[in-house]
């Protein structure tokens, strides 16, 4: 298998085998052990959902027209046992729970975001939540990978990745891009599309749409530069190689088995000199 498109809902996709960009980011920024813990076929301990995450997922579905199923709950908060029971029941059935007030706000947010995108000539009439599986080569053999892209125009090789954030200011999104491994994500998805449609090699356009959850719901469209792409490709390649080695040996190290050196950062010395 080189690459193929899957017709699966988000819940089913997230249970598939293979290395994803999010798992790769955990592997690179934390350790193989943390990646093992996060993967559905191994530790199966994903991130604990929060109301902010729920709003983001519902917002994604409303903007893209496809995504996680959600349940609108007529509750003010989750302080009562009844409200908690409704929330937990929704999650158990595979739905994202969202309070009525928050849902009404999400509808407004989604409408504004689509308007902001249209102002920049982006209309989401391609394919949303496009799931792809593909194979990467490694020194330890082929590595099965998977990805679900927010919105793709397959004929022209254009990817729109939607990020619903607190602040879409440039300094904030640059920090988020590094902290959450967006360069790895772009590298993985570029590789997937190139394997799916080799004629797109060298002409894939990848845009991040950072959209603010709060009014005025401003949108910051960003395109990674050459350094951003180079960093992502290096990290994605390293993640693939490390994942393959761990799978082959069935060994998932944490932060090493020995004693690691602990150094003082350069900025700490600079601060000390200023204080003196």
* Domain residue ranges of the chain, discontinuous segments joined by +: 3-257
Residues 205/158, Cβ–Cβ less than 8 Å = yes
The tens digit of pLDDT for each residue in 152-189 reads 999 999 999 999 999 999 999 999 999 999 999 999 99
Task: Please check the confidence at residue 276 and state whether its pLDDT lies above 80.
Answer: no
Alpha carbon distance 198, 215 (integer Å): 41
Q: Right CATH number for 3-257 from 3.40.50.2300, 3.90.320.10, 3.40.50.300, 2.40.110.10?
A: 3.90.320.10
Indicate the Cα dihedral angle 165, 169, 171, 177, nearest 10°.
30
Alpha carbon distance 191, 201 (integer Å): 9
Radius of gyration of the chain (CA): 20
The tens digit of pLDDT for each residue in 44-103 reads 877 788 888 899 999 999 999 999 999 999 999 999 999 999 999 999 998 999 999 999
The tens digit of pLDDT for each residue in 176-231 reads 999 999 999 999 999 999 999 999 999 999 999 999 999 999 999 999 999 999 99
**One-character DSSP codes across 169-224:** -HHHHHHHHHHTTHHHHHHHHHHHHHHH-GGGTT--EEEEEEEESSTT--EEEE--
How confident is the model at residue 52, as a pLDDT?
A: 87
The tens digit of pLDDT for each residue in 101-159 reads 999 999 999 999 999 999 999 999 999 999 999 999 999 999 999 999 999 999 999 99
pTM: 0.90
């Amino acid at each position: 298998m080189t690459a193929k498109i899957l017709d699966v809902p988000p819940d089913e996709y997230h249970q598939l085998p293979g290395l994803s960009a999010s798992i790769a980011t955990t592997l690179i920024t934390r350790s193989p052990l943390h990646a093992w813990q996060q993967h559905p076929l191994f530790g199966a301990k994903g991130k604990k959902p929060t109301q902010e995450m729920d709003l983001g997922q519902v917002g994604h579905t409303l903007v893209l027209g496809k995504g996680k199923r959600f349940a609108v709950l007529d509750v003010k908060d989750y302080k009562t046992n009844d409200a908690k029971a409704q929330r937990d029941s929704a999650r158990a059935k595979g739905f994202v729970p969202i309070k009525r007030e928050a849902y009404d706000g999400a509808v407004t947010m989604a409408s504004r975001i689509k308007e902001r995108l249209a102002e920049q000539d982006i209309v989401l009439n391609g394919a949303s939540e496009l799931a792809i599986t593909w194979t990467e080569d490694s020194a330890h053999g082929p590595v099965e990978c998977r990805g679900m892209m927010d919105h793709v125009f397959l004929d022209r090789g254009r990817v729109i990745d939607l990020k619903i954030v607190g602040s879409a200011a440039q300094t904030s999104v640059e920090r988020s891009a590094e902290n959450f491994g967006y360069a790895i994500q772009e590298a993985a998805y570029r590789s997937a599309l190139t394997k799916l449609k080799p004629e797109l090699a060298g002409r894939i356009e990848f845009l991040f749409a950072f959209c603010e959850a709060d009014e005025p719901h401003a949108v910051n469209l960003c395109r990674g530069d050459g350094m951003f792409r180079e960093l992502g490709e290096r990290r994605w390649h390293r993640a693939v190689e490390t994942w393959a080695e761990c799978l082959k040996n069935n060994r998932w190290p944490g932060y090493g088995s020995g004693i690691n050196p602990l150094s003082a950062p350069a900025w700490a010395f600079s601060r000390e000199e200023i204080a003196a």
